Amino acid sequence: MTMNPLDLTGKTVLITGASKGIGQATAIYLSRLGARIVAVARNRDRLDRTVSQLEGTGHSAQTFDLNEVEQIPAWMKTAAQVSGPLYGLVHSAGIVLNRPLRVLSPRDLTDMQRINVDAAVMLAKGFRQKGVREAAGGSIVFLSSVAAFKGKPALAGYSATKGALISLARVLALELVHDGVRVNCVCPGLVRTQMAAELGDFMAPEQLEKLCAEYPLGLGEPDDVAYAVAFLLAPTARWITGTALVADGGYSA
Amino acid sequence: MTRDEFLIEMDAILDLPAGTLKGPEKLAELEQWNSMALLGFLALVDTNNGLRLSQRQVVLCSTVADLLSLATVEGVPE
């Protein structure tokens, strides 16, 4: 009998940012591994398109605005009453703003911090509530970025938030260990998504070409990140917590 | 954003004393007009006018006045 080390059959996983890009690809891939997906985003139509592509049954879509950070734990309690206890949490929703320091505003910082970091904290807080997660424990994955390790001009605010997620994962890995919850980050490089395409609008063709040349294995696809998320979620990663798994085609090598 | 407000913001982006830019200045002759200043202009327009311009549109501008035109009306300046 063939064994699948990434088997997630019977596991319910909540994924934010599930309506597009990496979040969408992750939701689809995890469903192929047998997981029941709770897909979360703000846009109902795009969310429904994601759910229609999921394999298996028992999936659901939840529209929620993660800017409402104070409401996240209570919302998760309600969501888990519908979906059943969660095994996994993937925070893929995020904002990137290209802002050189000379124009970086407190509002820009707040906007990125709120979704990229504050929501991650509150999602974790919600996840550890009794009845929200499986009693035996679970696994949390935050989507950080290679920008946390390798600087690029005009990404100060964004990089700071992605670095914060790595620190957050390290702390929560220790704080939640007795709850049986592992906490890790995936740090993708540049992946072909709508967000990356918009980033390209800010660059001259030669700048974009130079950036692509910094990837020994070429630019990534959303599925490349989904595979890394699946690895960290799966029970075979039971001895991995508090880490940041870089998936960047060799960019930071 | 008014014309004067825009010019003052551009003064700041280009590290010039407030009130320096008037409009006819050629971008190629402004020492601080570089890729970071360009991104700063894009951010300024996005934040204040809700317009998402691209680098491709901006490189077609020759003067500060061209940038002003682009900032208020999306399109290729003549």
ipTM, two decimals:
0.80
Q: Where do the DSSP E strands lie in chain B?
A: none
Number of A to B CB contacts under 8 A, please give it: 45
Q: Among B13, B39, B72, which Cα is nearest to A99's?
A: B39
A98 to B15: CB separation less than 8 angstroms, yes or no: no
**So what's the pLDDT on residue A79?**
95
Residues from chain B that touch A107, judged by Cβ atoms under 8 A, are 47
* B48 pLDDT tier (thresholds 50, 70, 90): confident
Which secondary-structure segment (H or E) carries A8? none
Which domains does chain B carry? 3-72 (1.10.1200.10)
Cβ atoms within 10 Å, residue B78 = 6
pTM of the shown model? 0.93
Which domains does chain A carry? 12-192+221-245 (3.40.50.720)
| Known catalytic residue at A227 | no
Distance CA A138, CA A12 (A): 10
pLDDT tens per residue, range A100-122: 999 999 999 999 999 999 999 99
Please check the confidence at residue A144 and state whether its pLDDT lies above 80: yes
Q: What angle do CA A247, A219, A6 make, to 5 degrees?
A: 40
CA-based radius of gyration for chain A? 17
A204 to B43: CB separation less than 8 angstroms, yes or no: no
Nearest-CA distance A195 → chain B (Å): 13
Phi/psi region, residue B62 (left: phi>0; alpha: psi -120 to 50; beta: rest), is: alpha
Distance CA A40, CA B62 (A): 45
**So what's the pLDDT on residue A241?**
98
